Structure 1
């Protein structure tokens, strides 16, 4: 059964990307044959994104952030402005295929479906860039680098989380979770955190291999200073995911593991940005604890006691019954 759909596109200086890929989004929506809308949340762009949309796509709803606030904040503005049953989060640099949504409606016939994503292919090589993800761990460190898929058309393949670049999500459920956690601003790991929260309150995330889209790639400035700053944010946010989702009795052991097997070795190698990342994480402890408490409250309200390690077991347990291809 098809449902109405709001497409939410966070944008920062993406005029050229909108010009190139927005027509493909409109085609996919037209082919889906559902009531829909497109919301572009502009994150204080300094290019001509807003004027371009007003001139060429007057039916697109544009929400403007007065200052640049990052991915989570922009998505959340779209979440609470959206009018429809399903929300589709789409990056500006992603090209949808004409039939992208065709195979995804069936997942929402299940009451416990949080969301579904399709496969992401590299724009030029056509290689699979993102598929379903399984969790694994080294000690108390959670890893999400195991990609897999199943070619059978009728399978329901679980994934540990949904990519924020192409996630189709139940609107009521994501609002129940409070949207994306803005402590991860400006970007990185907010989609991982969201998926883990969904699983932990008792919902499921799925991957559909028959749904394809193409990713153009990062526009990040390639200066060394910028690279180190981006890495600093990335690892800070990974630390925050662990602090939120590891159960309290595991956290002292995780802190020891991080300090002696990551922070100190990287300092000895002269990678001082890693220490800055760790210090930045420690400065967020109060906000992290607030996020952890909100999740704990919601889990209790829904009578759920799923741990992050339980998610790993649930996903792997489902895979044992299927013909899986690992990437």
Structure 2
């Protein structure tokens, strides 16, 4: 099971100084063929010079400008030469033996992706683990939990996940109209509809400098805005159960009001702004509904809750 590791970078030379050595170390004794690709997303710092000088074995894909998260990652993945892809943010540090348990998850034909336990750099605080989704009172919510053993997960975090390239391409990759935040859930949810699982593997551990890149680019308000916008777009595109979808639309004004009351005005603004893309995502919804689907929405949520 040969692998391509894709690392997305934007002006992250200081982050790469920790990320790349950890990845190189993890791959040093790896018994399978592998490649490491850094997708440089229009950096203006000396990231590429640092890589060329210190890690000449690493392939660099240069973007002329910052294309955004999803588009740049899609380009990197399409250029990967091996059938299994590992996606890592540049603010990730991996443990030496993080890869083995993840690859074993992919040995099952019906598994699309696997995600590791992601801790913050204090090595104690859980940043991402097993994702559980629920739909109550017209709202779709997700909760991150931990488990002692591998378990079904609603999705894996795009900043640290492994998946089968052929299935990724068949799904159409990350949605570039969403770009970042909820794009990984969108991908894995569409896979679940085809009967392709995402698995959480707690024996694989990586560490995350939380928001180290995204805070610099978007700011906290921007992140909240994108989260609100893409939450709404995700539902429009993927929630095909008519009753759940109508409940969502009916309760959406309440969610906007509650967000404003609890100080999340930018999240509320993102939801409102999502309707500028309503027609685009309704078209995507129609396309997705016409694709082969084995699992309806209620069954997916039921499986994840087990």
Give TM-score scaled by structure 2 length: 0.92
**Larger displacement relative to structure 2 (69-78 or 265-274):** 265-274
Is 1:166 the counterpart of 2:160? The answer is: yes
RMSD: 2.1
Equivalent residues of 1:141, 1:242 under 8 A apart:
no
Deviations 1:227-281 (A, max 9, x none): 222211111011111111112623332112011x122344567865345312320
Pairwise CA distance, 1:146? 4.0
Is 1:91 the counterpart of 2:80? The answer is: no
Residues in 1 aligned to 2:241 and 2:303: alpha-carbon distance in whole angstroms: 21
Ranges in structure 2 where 5+ consecutive residues have no aligned partner: none
- Equivalent of 2:269, from 266, 271, 276? 276
Pairwise CA distance, 1:38? 0.8
- Equivalent of 1:38, from 30, 36, 39? 36
Residues in 1 aligned to 2:215 and 2:76: alpha-carbon distance in whole angstroms: 27
Q: 1:271 to 1:60 in 2, by over 3 A?
A: closer
Deviations 1:136-186 (A, max 9, x none): 1222321111413124xxxx411110111111100110010011111112x
Residues in 2 aligned to 1:7 and 1:227: alpha-carbon distance in whole angstroms: 28
Q: Tell me what 1:48 maps to.
A: 46
Q: 1:81 to 1:248 in 2, by over 3 A?
A: same
- Equivalent of 1:193, from 186, 192, 197? 186
Q: Tell me what 1:218 maps to.
A: 211
Q: 1:316 to 1:47 in 2, by over 3 A?
A: same
Pairwise CA distance, 1:312? 1.3
Ranges in structure 1 where 5+ consecutive residues have no aligned partner: 318-327
Residue 45 of structure 1 aligns to a residue whose secondary structure is coil
Runs of 4+ in 1 over 4 A off after TM superposition: 220-223, 265-272
Residues in 1 aligned to 2:43 and 2:80: alpha-carbon distance in whole angstroms: 21
Equivalent residues of 1:94, 1:215 under 8 A apart:
yes
Pairwise CA distance, 1:36? 0.5
Number of matched residues?
A: 304
